[in-house]
Amino acid sequence: MTALSVNLNKVATLRNTRHHDAPSVMKAARIVLEAGAAGVTVHPRPDARHIRERDVFDLAELLRAPEWAGREFNVEGYPDDRFLELIERVRPDQVTLVPDAPEQSTSDHGWDLPADAAVLTPIVARVQKLGCRVSLFADPDVSVIEGAKAVGADRVELYTGTYHDAFGGPQQDEVLAVFVVAAQRARDLGLGLNAGHDLTLDNLPTLSRAIPWIDEVSIGHHLIGDALWMGIAASVKAYQKCLEAGQSQSAPLKAATR
């Protein structure tokens, strides 16, 4: 079963519009874990516009509690010195490296591999020595997947923004087939597979059905948005049902050649 990691950035974004702790990121984390989420994801950006460094430490402590044994903490970010020092102090279960510039509003593309190999190879090794699994944010391109394997990554996280944009339109099947090709290459190489960005209650079952071997999806914006209408716990359970529905009906999708 594909694990659901809930990204809490948007809870922090709302909190940061006031000078107090409401809505509480920690309370949201407890609710999603109680609802059955496999873990939580955060992205502590340099400008702290949503998740703050203190949140990272508090969440790490929460997830070390015996009641959450087996749940995972995923911290994503651009691997500058500040970020790597934070990772060394927190040592989360998984570190997702993203090629974000500080001024980006959101992660919207993967690493340029193999061009970024010289930069990433020592960073991947450094983080793995801390006992963290390393995932690289990646576009659905076979050369990128192969590059991730070459630098020693444990997993890739497929950037699914382009899938979201194509979903429901005439290019949906063609775009989805590109993701299947990339996902299959990751599988063939022995890389773990994550996916994330603009996954919704509408498009998640189709992706899950086409690529049932996804290890983890990280979902924040739409899950928290849906929680405005149904509550956080119900939203988590709805996304889990999407994964279950997709995987119970999984069937191979004919892959596009590239």
User: Per the residue annotation, which of 50, 72, 76, 157 is the catalytic one?
Assistant: 76
Task: Give the sign of the dihedral formed by CA 103, CA 4, CA 188, CA 256.
Answer: negative
Torsion angle of C-alpha atoms 238, 55, 95, 80, degrees rounded to 10: 140
Rounded to whole angstroms, how far apart are CA atoms 140 and 236? 26
Rounded to whole angstroms, how far apart are CA atoms 188 and 186? 5
Q: Give the closest residue to 172 by CA, choosing from 244, 253, 116, 54.
A: 253
User: Per the residue annotation, which of 43, 50, 72, 222 is the catalytic one?
Assistant: 43
User: Per the residue annotation, which of 72, 157, 197, 216 is the catalytic one?
Assistant: 197
**Is 20 one of the annotated active-site residues of the chain?**
no
**Is 197 one of the annotated active-site residues of the chain?**
yes
3-state secondary structure of 78: coil
State the burial class of residue 121 (Cβ atoms within 10 Å of its Cβ: 0-12, 13-18, 19+).
middle
Active-site residues, by number, are 43, 76, 197
